[in-house]
Structure 1
């Protein structure tokens, strides 16, 4: 399995703790390495200074042909000729040469050789640091080797490594524990929200997440967002249930009437005229069903934004096309239908906006009185369309739900229509990114569309 895929499968808390642990391990390793390097450099510098001082005293004694002076505690010395034979040596070394042939050759050519004997880890006995230089005395070449013990230096470094390892391990454990507790505490509300959402998924109504009111961090904002989403989901579910109930009622009525007409027609032989009347009645109900189905399909089509296509359209042409279809109806009813529209171009979907205006004009002619006026204004990239009449207006209790599907005022329930006209108008406004508003005025009713254009 790919390590990245394996990490993705781990719980979030585990991944956070691993990230903290790895980061802290890298930081602690770097810090420990820096401390160790600085201490080792200081100890090596002190050791090298002691070794150089001891080397100079040995070089001076060899040149002067005097006894070799004692050095620091545990130090060693050795004098060799050009062929590597030991001429003088510390008692601890006896006649064992400290230099390899290659090192002896390098010193004979004027180089200074410095190296360590033994290792820091694993622990070895008789660890030394030696230095060899070429010296001439009485015309004879000599190789002087000075060596000091590294025991104290190595012991200090080993103790430092142990302390750094212990301190780093304790710090890493503490940081991982704090990271774990912090991650668990930060994600605990998320788990609580998940449990609440699972309860809602089980069908428990009116479930809301317990969000603290005295905080405003990311998790709290997530809780408020989820509660807002739950509110909208519940409202949508209620609207859906109401829609199904209303649609069932609206569809049942014409179907019941059609069934009754057909039952009566088939109950006994009928004359041609009676059958014609029955067929006309059935045709009326069929047309009602078709209109209702088309309206529902239009509303569903507007529910998805990809059905909306804006195009540059002359406002006067759009309004005239909507008004022209209702002029004959207005003339037959002895009503005045007027339009006040500026000569400008707008970016809208005329395919949807024109029937929406037609619905408003149709409602005003069927339920209102007097003159019906359609006014349009364009200001700062916004289009306002208002249809007014001089009728009694909307019932006050109907206004809050005027744009709901199948919503009809009590006075209009016996008239034609399924209560989808204003719902379609509202859907068109929302699809354009605008709003729809219905109100009563001093002279009648008014429905206003505000659309960006």
Structure 2
């Protein structure tokens, strides 16, 4: 249904139920008007055809009687006749006409020239008495032109049509009321779940917790699917809110510790005069805490950027070169601590986002060097279009209670938050894997800890097999 431009803003401001009922009412009005018009036209055509047939037959009888000069035969019920001369004088007329001419001067002139006149006298609505349908034609009798007018009363025909109009109007009105009522009840029933969902959302906006919409399990329509979608959205919102609460609590704790240490160092330095060596040592301590704050801020920003990115930018990269670039910054650290880093990487080209994968590998190595013991081994294999990176060490492994939350933000195996690291390294690795559509896994091998990064890579093999 298309509305005029001026009515559209007004229509859109109406409630949905009102709009639906109006749309149903207007559409049904058009349909009923069309149907009533078709019925009326068919009935009127049939009645007119019968009336015209009777009138034509009666006029032919009049023509023959006038030509022969015989008595005018009786016509159908309600028939009338009038015979005029060429000048329009009434020569013969039915008693009820009182010799009143039925033709206008223009019609009389047209018939005198040989035309046949057909017209109605009186109207259907408003009701007028003495309605007629007449035919007039010129005939020749005894060498003189005569104008024969045959007419029949339309009273029965008009009464039938008026009764038909009244019945069609009544039936259409009742049908329109019934259709509008059914449309109203149907719209209310269809939108009742939406109103229930709206009330639930309003309750949630008022601070309600753990709210879920009551969605019937045995239905599968658009409204039901909307309810399931909203419940899924509420689940995600609740999870997001819970993560945010944990993040704020953990981040505030993480930031409070270095800030408190900074304040303590500054207070001690200001408490009494210090020597140049003591001030230098204090500044070194302050610098370490500032660097810790910078690292923590950078890690949080990286996680936020990675989490808010709708998609990563994949590009072909040589896996061996990617691994070498990620391992190089950690070789010096391993050498200073008397440990080794061994790399076993497939010689293939992988389709990944090296910007994020490279620091993720670095975080795995940093975690192994920082918290593990012995040699660190990094293996990178590609099979069935998936890249599997595994970093192992020879330490004591993860505490069993830590494994389920190893990839959570600020999660640490040590109870103290003053230990090295921010607790964001493995969380960043997990975020990179998720962005690639992959997974992460941490486990104890019996000879140390193992962290596995598995993600799709769509590789293209090159000559050679492995680089060590």
**TM-score of the superposed pair, with normalisation by structure 2:** 0.91
2:76 corresponds, among 54, 65, 72, to 72
In the comparison of the two structures, how many residue pairs are matched? 453
Deviations 1:398-428 (A, max 9, x none): 2332222111113685631010111112222
Unaligned ranges ≥5, structure 1: none
Is 2:440 the partner of 1:450?
A: no
Partner of 1:201: 205
Shift of 1:296: 1.2
For residues 442 and 178 of structure 1, do their structure 2 counterparts lie closer, same or farther at Cα, with a shift above 3 Å needed? Answer: farther
Aligned to 1:146: 150
> Are 2:403 and 1:399 aligned?
yes
| Structure 2 partner of 1:15 | 19
| 8 A contact 1:16–1:179 mirrored in 2 | yes
Structure 1's 264 and 412: CA in aligned 2 closer, same or farther, altered over 3 A? closer
2:216 is aligned with 1:212: yes
CA distance in 1, matches of 2:343, 2:398: 22
8 Å CA contact retained: 2:257, 2:418: no
Shift of 1:441: 4.0
Distance 1:425 1:339 in 2: 19
| 49-58 vs 364-373, greater mean Cα deviation | 364-373
Does structure 2 retain, via aligned residues, the 8 Å contact 1:429–1:451? no
Partners of 2:351 and 2:368 in 1: CA distance: 26
Instruction: Tell me, in whole angstroms, the C-alpha distance in 1 between the residues paired with 2:345 and 2:108.
Output: 110
| 1:116 equivalent among 101, 116, 120 | 120
What's the CA shift string for 1:36-79, capped at 9, x where partnerless?
01111111111111111111111111111101112122211011
Report if the CA contact (8 A) 1:315-1:343 is conserved. Answer: yes
Shift of 1:230: 1.1
1:169-220 C-alpha deviation (Å, 9 max, x unpaired)? 0100111011111111111111111111111111121122122222222111
Distance 2:183 2:394 in 1: 71
Q: CA RMSD in A?
A: 2.1
Deviation at 1:436, TM superposition (A): 3.1
Q: Which moved more, 1:306-315 or 1:360-369?
A: 306-315
**1:266 and 2:270 correspond:** yes
Moved more, 331-340 or 290-299: 331-340
Q: Deviations 1:256-285 (Å, cap 9, x if unpaired)?
A: 122222223333333332222222222211
**In structure 2, how many angstroms separate the alpha carbons of the residues matched to 1:70 and 1:380?**
104
Name the structure 2 match of 1:318: 322
Aligned pair partner of 1:386 in 387, 390, 398: 390
1:226-250 alpha-carbon deviations (Å, 9 max, x no partner): 1111111111111111111111111
**Alignment deviations for residues 281-313 of structure 1 (CA, whole Å, 9 cap, x no partner):** 222111111111111111122232269544443
Separation (CA, whole Å) in 2 of partners of 1:381 and 1:141: 107
Q: Which runs of 5+ in 2 are unaligned?
A: 459-468
